[in-house]
Amino acid sequence: MKQVIQNFKTGQLYVDDVPVPSLSNNMVLVQNTFSLISAGTERSTVKVAKSNLIGKARQRPDLVAQVLNNIRKEGLKATLEKVRTKLDSLKALGYATAGQVMASMDSNSYFKPGDRVACAGQDYASHAEVVCIPQNLVVKIPDNVTDEEASFTTLGAIALQGVRQAEVKLGEVVCVIGLGLLGQLTCQLLAASGCKVMGIDMSGHLIDLAVQLGADAAVHRNDADLQARMDAFTNGQGFDSVIITAATPTNDPIVLAGEITRKKGKVIAVGAVKLDVPRDPHYYRKELDLRLSTSYGPGRYDVNYEEHGNDYPFAYVRWTEQRNMEAFLQILSQRKINVKPLITHVFDITEAESAYKIVMGEVKEPHIAILLSYPLKDQKASTLIPLKSAPAATINVGFIGAGSFAQSYLIPNVKSEGGSLQTVVTSRGITSKNVAQKFGFNNASSDIDDVLKDQSVNTVFIATPHNLHAPYALAALKAGKSVFVEKPLAMNDEELESFNEYFSANGGNLMVGFNRRFAPVSVELKKIFSNSPEPLVMNYRINAGFIPKEHWTQHAETGGGRIIGEVCHFIDLMQYFTDSIPVKVYASCIGADSEKIINKDNIVVTLTFKNGSVGTITYVANGDKFLPKEKLEIFGNGNVGIINDFRSGEIYSGNKMKKLKLTGKGHSQEVAAFMEGLKTGKMPINFESIYYTTKATFRIIDSLITGLPQDI
């Protein structure tokens, strides 16, 4: 399928063929007929991508701070690789579309193939022939509303939410600052609500259009009689509300809004303006109510609503994103607003570059709403995009999942170890196409069958969200492939036992991404404890850092939480040093009474191993980030070994101390060990070890629930 793409590194914008996105739970697959270019938002996005590195840094100082912090933690080389991976990416543009449902896995079975729908969402409702949309960002189109009109739904919901924030009443006098597309829609919605509306803009054409479409008056920002005209319009009282829909790097709209709003009035910021609010004389002395409007409405930026399909109760949250979208379509259906005069251009998807030249000002043409059109055609056969046909090596690899971790630590190391790259699969076609081009895969795909059913692929790497690890790994094993799966192997006992049953009956090559045992400092310390005649005592402290509840790793069904997703690393490393499996575990966590703090992210775990060794894991998310993340102390047979955040180590033996200048967490070494294991037929970590590491994480959770030790 064709999609509008921008290379974030070079800024190049173009239309390319990418795989059709894959359909998953709580999602709706839609074939677009029209999409709307949001000129203000997309102009800003494209401009950032076209700027140089310094320009990008100025736009996102928060990310610069993250980079500097990462350099301190992981070193300059590792950080530069991460930055290069992030920059060398393809970005989807657009967030407002209309089309027809191809297939749906929405939880309510509400959407059926052939339904006409409007869609919203950055990185979802993109300028592409086919899109996959979360169910709460899709709404059905009324029969008397055209697809062209319905493509305005996202922008209409944004405008509608701004009006809701103003809480306007019949007869109120409202000013709209900024008469671009969003401002024009806002003026019409206010007029339909029974308000007296004045608009302000810098464009004479937009001023005339606003009056033509229902505003009672409109005036130029630099009109010498601006204040007098406003006084006449409001009878000297000032506006009940001012809605700012302009986009500007200055605070002029904020200052102006304060001047023209009546005492106790409201100022609503919808557009991207500088929120430098002067306290005196207006905002303070008039006691103005300054409100920000969050995009389409309640649900925006809430992963439980947008990504997991959980709706808010109607009685308690009357107007959500989806219900705002439905309301806007209803207003369109009732012909209380008119969007057709706002359409200035319609381009076929193949001509999208011409459309963006107008948006970016490279071609000087007056414009408001620019639509892209898509001819309806069969898209079923386009999950696989061949790029080249390089010959297969002895180890021919398919990747399922290719996020930043896979791109930084797995794919490059597979290449350096002589593996050939056959097919990369991701849920979003634009991502698989980008990764395939960047690393030299033969094919880009959005369907795992393009890897599992390919007889030439003998090895599969799985780096998807955690909930897909077990089903995909088992499917690959049953397809006769060797498998490297990122941790964790499984999310629950049922999934884990399915692996146990499979290996008991069939065997196979399976590796889990427990990289720390392959770190150079770990390998060196192992030498002094490998023949220890007595059990070891281990103390492992992890200053993990805070991750909010909204992060996907914290979601029970997708990420499984940090115990399953990360603590497994530390249990595996203890197994490595003890050469023994864990048999008993006891865990306790803090008891903070706070919605922000996740108690089980701050735990102390005591593990007993079969050979009598013991270990404690202190895993905390409430510490200061400046402290290095990990420190492991190992005691046994008169020796002490210390790992300092995998940057260095120490050995205390014979009343002497030896420093180890060894860095790295073992990512490249684990891939090398796996590839070597494929050649020799012996995996670097046996299945029993993987099984008990994974099972121990489940028993940690049980111990936290029961308050009792648990047998593993």
Spatial contact of 686 and 500, defined as CB atoms under 8 Å apart: no
Helix, strand, coil percentages, rounded to 5, for the chain: 40, 25, 35
> DSSP state, 629?
S
Element spanning 99, H or E: strand 96-104
Write down the pLDDT at residue 531.
Answer: 80
Asked if 529 and 636 sit in the same domain, the reply is yes
Element spanning 63, H or E: helix 61-74
Residue 679 belongs to some domain of the structure = no
Q: Which of 492, 512, 532 corresponds to the end of one domain?
A: 512
Write down the pLDDT at residue 376.
Answer: 79
Helix (H, G, I), strand (E, B) or coil at 395: coil
Residue with tokens 């399928």: 1
Helix (H, G, I), strand (E, B) or coil at 495: helix
Spatial contact of 288 and 259, defined as CB atoms under 8 Å apart: no
Asked if 337 and 227 sit in the same domain, the reply is no
Write down the pLDDT at residue 532.
Answer: 82
Residue 674 belongs to some domain of the structure = no
Which CATH number covers residue 205? 3.40.50.720
Asked if 486 and 629 sit in the same domain, the reply is no
Residue 673 belongs to some domain of the structure = no
Asked if 394 and 526 sit in the same domain, the reply is no
Asked if 575 and 502 sit in the same domain, the reply is no
* CA atoms within a 13 Å half-sphere pointing along the CA-CB vector of 286: 25
Asked if 500 and 408 sit in the same domain, the reply is yes
Q: How far is it, in rounded angstroms, from Cα 495 to Cα 452? A: 20
Q: Which domain, by its residues, includes 484?
A: 388-512
Q: Which of 327, 350, 373 corresponds to the end of one domain?
A: 373
Asked if 178 and 284 sit in the same domain, the reply is yes
Asked if 338 and 285 sit in the same domain, the reply is no
Element spanning 292, H or E: strand 289-292
Query: Judging by DSSP bridges, how do beta strands 13-17 and 116-120 pair with one another?
Result: unpaired
Asked if 502 and 520 sit in the same domain, the reply is no
Write down the pLDDT at residue 56.
Answer: 47
Residue 273 belongs to some domain of the structure = yes
Asked if 440 and 479 sit in the same domain, the reply is yes
- Residue-wise pLDDT for 4-41, tens only, equals 999 887 888 999 999 999 999 999 999 999 999 987 77
Asked if 574 and 695 sit in the same domain, the reply is yes
Number of domains in the chain: 4
Helix (H, G, I), strand (E, B) or coil at 684: coil
Asked if 7 and 148 sit in the same domain, the reply is yes
Write down the pLDDT at residue 38.
Answer: 86
Enter the tokens of residue 273.
């303006």
Secondary structure of 232-289 in HEC code, one letter for each residue = HHHCCCCEEEEEECCCECCCHHHHHHHHHEEEEEEEEECCCECCCCCHHHHHHHCCCE
Write down the pLDDT at residue 51.
Answer: 62
User: What is the CB neighbour count within 10 angstroms for residue 229?
Assistant: 16
Tell me which residues of the chain have a pLDDT lower than 50. 56
Q: Which of 263, 292, 321 corresponds to the end of one domain?
A: 292
Ramachandran quadrant class, 92 (left: phi over 0; alpha: psi -120 to 50; beta: rest): beta
Residue 297 belongs to some domain of the structure = no
Which CATH number covers residue 79? 3.90.180.10
Which CATH number covers residue 651? 3.30.360.10
Write down the pLDDT at residue 295.
Answer: 93
Write down the pLDDT at residue 39.
Answer: 79
Residue 380 belongs to some domain of the structure = no
Residue with tokens 């019949």: 170
- Residue-wise pLDDT for 535-548, tens only, equals 999 999 999 999 99
Residue 226 belongs to some domain of the structure = yes
- Predicted TM-score (pTM) of the model is 0.88
Alpha carbon 116 to its chain's center: 27
Residue 701 belongs to some domain of the structure = yes
